[in-house]
Chain A
Amino acid sequence: MPKTQAEIKIVGSSTFGRYPKISLEKTYNMFISDDWLVSYPGFKKVLEINANSEGRGLFHSIRGDFLIYVVGSSVYKITTGIGSIKVGNLSSSTGEVFMDENLSSQICIVDGIDAYIYNWSNKSLTKQNFAYAPGFVSYHNSFFLIAQEPTQPHPENWFVYQFLNDTEIVQLASNAGGTFSIQTKPDVCLAVHRIPGRGNNIIAIGSAVSEVYTQVGGSENYRRNSSFNINSGCVSKSTIACADTLVCWLGQNENNSPTIMFTDGSNIEQISTDGINYQLQEIQFPEQSTAFFYKQDGHLFYQLTFYNSADNLSLVYDFNTSKFFHVTDWRLNYHPARQVVFFEEKTYFASLSEGSIYQMDTNIIDQINVVGDVEGHNIPRIRICNTVRQGSTKPFRVNEVVFVMEQGVNSFPQMRIDSSNCTDIMITEDGNVMISEGGAEMQGEDGICATNINRPCVDMSISKNGAQTFSGGVRRYLNAEGHYRNMISWHRLGFANEFTVQLEFSGMQRFVINDSLADITT
């Protein structure tokens, strides 16, 4: 009966299967960097406008060097140092808004009911008088490309607008290339967006099909690519996001259930796995979603969130490593980010759940919900590893699980005790605290002093039934500041023929973790 070693994939992503028995591998709030598992960016509040309203959109004006932030029905201009100036109001107060800017200092804001032009040159916000409810806007080659809400008459149409005057835009005439429609299938047009890195090419995305157009100029203006289309539309226009050379969205068509897809304008690819496809299929309110691309530490992330409480799910896909991860807030609910911008060398997002702007960064390790605070809520970072099985299905005994992780990089001195957490402190008849000759507070026999709850630690729980149920967590505290010894281990883990490890990393420090080997006797 030899001793051998089994690989515990701590450095891994959310590759869970259709059923837990297949795989329950999930990673929460961590991602892979150079084959190490590291913390996903934390975030801190930098501006609070209205805690009771919904952050609806955030847009970075490159030319104006400011942000436009829509919270509730209010529109704010966010300037250098995250100062805010209210510039006007929208008629609506909920739901995601879409924004883009042209070359004439005009930012078009579309809220699903009306379109607005904010001219940052003359600081005016003007409601446009459209004959239909606009649903999506994107800028391309001096035009605003606007799709209407699918409830409108002729929802297959999308329109081309151009600058009219400082406060207005105007639709090009139909005979001048101002109106187009989805044609490949009888479908509605949900969004039109330029394809990054593809010059004159744009993509019109329907609910079951997507078409690529090329701007050819003249009275034709845009010409549909007659040899290529994508047999997938979009579940929700809020899931459409663009970056680098990609357009990504939650796709579906009349035959197929939702999958995450992306295109570079010439190829289409599905990136979601079986388990994620199943989870997407189970989404009850796909329209209550949001998605965006952003780059952090060189990694291109596509983050997708379903924020209805019935769904409550955020996934992030790392295009660098081609892997999915789960992301959450500190309560393990959906990640609150909606529409990310890079402004003044920092990454900011509008919060879905409140009217605030947050800064996110891998140097921020927790969720700070109060402007100016340096410490906030611990973001749970969880890894459910692969299930270890033998090819023969025979049981084995797990003698030890050990792995290497960075330690001693926190700000916790050795066994810091918060005296306010001590119980049964002895007092005099007058209620004064009794102290010893040395000045120390005296404690009764039953008193305890709890260690600081934020002390970094790792809780491991195990499953021996194919990840159906897990044991309670067994904690290992991490070393205090300056103690860099890096091994962490659990011994004598029992007998099983299926063995799954779940790790939860807690506390105010970054986490950098390597793979593990389990010492087993077969």
Chain B
Amino acid sequence: MAYTVNQLVSGAFYASGIVSREFETVSGQQLFDGIEWLNEILAEKTIDSDMVPYESTYELNLVQGQEEYYIEDLIEIDTLTFTIDSVRFPVQQTPRDQYFGSVRVNNIQSLPVCWFMEREYGGARLYIYFQPNSSYVAEIKGIFRLNNVTQGQDLSLTLDQFYITYLKYALACKICDEYSMEIPRGVLKQHDKYYGYISKKSRPLDLHIRKSSTLHKRNGGSWAWANLFRGYTT
């Protein structure tokens, strides 16, 4: 069943106690404000990525010799792979200091082996090394920004009911803040409950452990290492 942005905003105004469900309707200005505040809440999830409930798959066309790619709305990459003749090749994430600070040969075109991502306005910039020696279609598994919503948009087409309910309570809290009113206890309780569910359960927790040994001696890259994959060139 359709659940529109207008319904969500109205429900939030009713839940906040600012507008009476039985006696009033949400005014045009309130609806306008509510949608704006709802988009602010959605935008917050860009920096609170645990609250983005869905992973996405993105196909990136790698271009021969091009190292940098701007990808709109990208927040976080979990995996980056490309496939050649039914064989999937992983590309490994490299820390910023190693990607930009280690010795390397810049003009080698080969199969990509490592990537690094930097956030930028409206999305992220992906760096790939080696520069592709051909055009590949890479597959990115990761999370992307939640899109802004507009008046009348059917949220049920893009969001599950649990997340719509969370957004209603989150918006109710924001409305109370905007009106300088105390958040009703019941609304706050519901908001916290849904926040907890989503942040802990909607995505797998990142439990990776990376050991850093003070005794480890890391070899620097060499020309020979840089040319290791020449034999796999297609």
Check B179 against A492 for contact (C-beta < 8 Å): no
Partner of B14, one of A1, A398, A474, A492: A492
Given A1-B181, A395-B179, A521-B181, decide whether A474 and B23 contact each other with a Cβ distance below 8 A. yes
Within 8 A of B (CB), among A385-440: 395, 397-399
User: How many A residues face the partner with a CB closer than 8 A?
Assistant: 17
Contact with B along A222-264 (1 / 0, CB 8 A): 0000000000000000000000000000000000000000000
Check B24 against A494 for contact (C-beta < 8 Å): yes
Residues of A within 8 A of B24 (CB): 471, 494
Measured in the bound complex, the distance between the Cα atoms of B178 and A495 in whole Å is 13
Residues of A within 8 A of B123 (CB): none
Asked if B20 is an interface residue, CB under 8 A from chain A, the answer is yes
Residues of B within 8 A of A494 (CB): 17-20, 23-24
Interface residues of A (CB under 8 A from B): 1, 395, 397-399, 460-462, 471-472, 474, 490, 492-495, 521
Check B23 against A493 for contact (C-beta < 8 Å): yes
A260: min CB distance to chain B, Å: 36
Check B17 against A462 for contact (C-beta < 8 Å): no
What are the 6 closest A-B residue pairs judged by CB atoms, nearest first?
A: A494-B20, A1-B182, A495-B18, A471-B23, A474-B22, A397-B17
Check A495 against B23 for contact (C-beta < 8 Å): no
Q: Is the interface of A mostly helix, strand, loop or mixed?
A: strand
Check A521 against B182 for contact (C-beta < 8 Å): yes
Check A397 against B18 for contact (C-beta < 8 Å): yes
Contact with A along B16-51 (1 / 0, CB 8 A): 011111111000000000000000000000000000
Check B181 against A461 for contact (C-beta < 8 Å): no
B11: min CB distance to chain A, Å: 12
Partner of A495, one of B19, B21, B22: B19
Residues of B within 8 A of A397 (CB): 17-18, 181
Check A521 against B17 for contact (C-beta < 8 Å): yes
Residues of A within 8 A of B21 (CB): 492
Q: Which of A398, A472, A493, A494 has the most CB of B within 10 A?
A: A494
Q: Is the interface of B mostly helix, strand, loop or mixed?
A: loop
Measured in the bound complex, the distance between the Cα atoms of B14 and A490 in whole Å is 14
Q: Which of B14, B179, B181 has the most CB of A within 10 A?
A: B181
Check A461 against B23 for contact (C-beta < 8 Å): yes
Given A495-B179, A521-B181, decide whether A490 and B22 contact each other with a Cβ distance below 8 A. yes
B77: min CB distance to chain A, Å: 44
Q: Which of B18, B21, B22, B181 has the most CB of A within 10 A?
A: B22
Measured in the bound complex, the distance between the Cα atoms of B17 and A1 in whole Å is 14
Closest to A460 in B: B23
Within 8 A of A (CB), among B64-119: none
Partner of B20, one of A1, A395, A462, A521: A462
Closest to A472 in B: B23
B179: min CB distance to chain A, Å: 6
A134: min CB distance to chain B, Å: 57
20 CB contacts below 8 A, A to B, read A1-B182, A395-B181, A398-B20, A399-B17, A461-B23, A462-B23, A471-B23, A471-B24, A474-B22, A490-B22, A492-B14, A492-B21, A492-B22, A493-B20, A494-B18, A494-B19, A494-B24, A495-B179, A521-B17, A521-B182
Measured in the bound complex, the distance between the Cα atoms of B24 and A460 in whole Å is 12
Measured in the bound complex, the distance between the Cα atoms of B16 and A521 in whole Å is 12
Residues of B within 8 A of A398 (CB): 20
Closest to A394 in B: B180
Residues of B within 8 A of A490 (CB): 22-23
Measured in the bound complex, the distance between the Cα atoms of B4 and A212 in whole Å is 77
Residues of B within 8 A of A471 (CB): 20, 23-24
Check A495 against B17 for contact (C-beta < 8 Å): yes
A442: min CB distance to chain B, Å: 30
Residues of A within 8 A of B23 (CB): 460-462, 471-472, 474, 490, 493-494
A519: min CB distance to chain B, Å: 11
Measured in the bound complex, the distance between the Cα atoms of B23 and A487 in whole Å is 20
Closest to A397 in B: B17
Residues of A within 8 A of B17 (CB): 397, 399, 492, 494-495, 521
Closest to A490 in B: B22
Q: Which of B17, B19, B23, B182 has the most CB of A within 10 A?
A: B23
Measured in the bound complex, the distance between the Cα atoms of B175 and A382 in whole Å is 35
Measured in the bound complex, the distance between the Cα atoms of B184 and A521 in whole Å is 9
Residues of B within 8 A of A495 (CB): 17-19, 179, 181
Measured in the bound complex, the distance between the Cα atoms of B20 and A472 in whole Å is 12
B26: min CB distance to chain A, Å: 10
Residues of B within 8 A of A474 (CB): 22-23
Measured in the bound complex, the distance between the Cα atoms of B23 and A461 in whole Å is 7
B188: min CB distance to chain A, Å: 13
Measured in the bound complex, the distance between the Cα atoms of B176 and A494 in whole Å is 12
Q: Which of A398, A461, A495, A521 has the most CB of B within 10 A?
A: A495
B20: min CB distance to chain A, Å: 4
Residues of A within 8 A of B14 (CB): 492
Residues of B within 8 A of A461 (CB): 23
Residues of B within 8 A of A493 (CB): 20, 23
Within 8 A of A (CB), among B106-154: none
